[in-house]
Amino acid sequence: MKKALDFFKSRIGSDSSDSISPLMRWLNPTLLSAAPGALEFSYVIREEMTNPMGILHGGTTAAIIDDAVGAAVFSLEKEDWYTTVNLAVDYFASAKAGDTIIAKTSITKNGHQIVNTSCEIWNADRSRLLAKGHSNLIRLPKRV
């Protein structure tokens, strides 16, 4: 089995239709780059990702951030699983169906028990920051 980071690197330029994450399969981003703890994805906003005003739903934005930082932690090749214990999102600008957005993840602190992460959501040309999220993920030992 490929290591997580090797897998991500092999998927650069590909969509996520075969991801192990059902949510990531639904969001279906294209992986743009992969380094330990630093992944970038592009998403094409579909109508079902929007709110009644026709703009990207805040919950979808939060889901993108949560799923992207989870993948970033997975790319660190840690022994155990990590799951979100909190997520805070600041929203700055909107995007609509048909727009492409970019999610850029980073690891603020790579602790043994808690990993602190960040994710920025940008418009396609990276001229406008749409949202920024911060999240802590906690270690869950794998059970055999």
Could you give the number of structural domains in the chain? 1
**Helix locations, 13-125, DSSP H:** 22-27, 58-74
User: What DSSP character marks residue 2?
Assistant: -
Of the given ranges (3-7, 28-32, 54-58, 119-123), which has the lowest mean pLDDT?
3-7
**Residue 9, domain CATH:** 3.10.129.10
Sheet holding 129-140, edge to edge: 30-35, 38-44, 100-110, 114-123, 129-140, 81-91
Segment 69-96, tens digit of pLDDT: 999 999 999 989 999 999 999 999 999 9
On the 0-12 / 13-18 / 19+ scale of CB atoms within 10 A, 2 is: exposed
pLDDT of residue 20: 87
User: Residue 1 pLDDT more than 60?
Assistant: no
Segment 87-138, tens digit of pLDDT: 999 999 999 999 999 999 999 999 999 999 999 999 999 999 999 999 999 9
Question: Residue 60 sits in which domain range?
Answer: 4-140
Instruction: Quote the distance between the C-alpha of residue 56 and its chain's center.
Output: 15
| Alpha-carbon separation of residue 4 from 58, 128, 131, 139 (angstroms) | 29, 31, 27, 17
CB–CB of 120/129 below 8 Å? Answer: yes
